[in-house]
Amino acid sequence: MSDPPDLVPFRARRAPEPLDPSNNADRFEMRLLLRPGDISEALRLRRRAYASQGHVPLVKDAEYRDSHDDYSSTAIFGAFDSGRLVASMRVCFSLPGDRLASLPCAPYYPALAAIAANAPNGLIEVSRLAIEPGLGNTSYRATLYGFMVRAALAAARAAGVSRIIVATRPDWVATYKHLLSFEQVGEPALYPPGDMPITLLVGNLEDAAKRAWMRNRFFRVTDDDIAHMRRVLGPVLHPMKSALAAASKR
């Protein structure tokens, strides 16, 4: 997961305060991107965000993509404010039986195999979170980032997986541990773009939900959130689960 460098980590500034009127996550709309043009727009935003952090060169109208963006088990989300794309995020599903092939992080973190062996309902990997670099308001960006994290938790709950995997910068590890009870998987690795060590974290969905309720209401996922995300993810989850069910009968 790519973290905006101009945000002070939550462990230093606290998570967005839900009672602060400026931190209104209801202003954002999360969409599953399915049309090629919409996905391309999100991947161009990703390129701009990574370039602003110095990870990749800025090339006008260029995308930043890899092969996992095209997998049928991948969901690319866009966050919109008044119809404008302001952030994007990738969620990759590994349901029972696919042996981690659908998770981009798997080749870089050998310790993940042991986690997967104890995740009977599968895993999801959340990565490539990118916020439009032209958005300079720190409070706005913090609220948007929190909105994306909460959407990722809702996606995991909607899919019914056992664990959620997050790839993040080392200086954000304490934040995820404190707010959501995430734990580190192995050692940091040069996860692409590969110019800085990235830490892989794993969260148990039940533990994360309990910690979110205790620590900060901003990250609480409701039953309505889960039901909505289940509808949103239908175009990805239904074909994937049908294919796995068919394969198990062979």
Residue closest to 92 by CA, chosen among 110, 73, 109, 70: 73
Count of alpha carbons within 13 angstroms of residue 22, beta-carbon side: 7
The three-class DSSP label of residue 63 is coil
- End-to-end CA, the chain: 37
| The pLDDT value given to residue 7 | 40
Domains belonging to the chain, first-starting first, are: 23-248 (3.40.630.30)
Residue 59 has pLDDT above 80, yes or no: yes
H-helix or E-strand containing 141? helix 138-159
163: pLDDT strictly greater than 60: yes
**pLDDT tens string 179-195:** 777 889 889 999 888 87
H/E stretch holding 167 reads: strand 163-168
pLDDT in tens, 8-51: 343 333 444 444 445 566 788 999 999 999 999 999 999 999 99
Give residue 65's pLDDT: 94
Taking the C-alpha atoms of residue 111 and residue 186, their distance in angstroms, rounded to an integer, is 5
**Tell me, what's the pLDDT at 3?**
46
Angular region, 135: left φ>0, alpha ψ -120 to 50, beta rest: beta
pLDDT of residue 238: 83
Task: Provide, rounded to the nearest whole percent, the portion of the chain with pLDDT above 70.
Answer: 79
DSSP labels for 187-234?
EEE--TT-SS-EEEEEEEHHHHHHHHHHH-GGGPPPHHHHHHHHHHTH
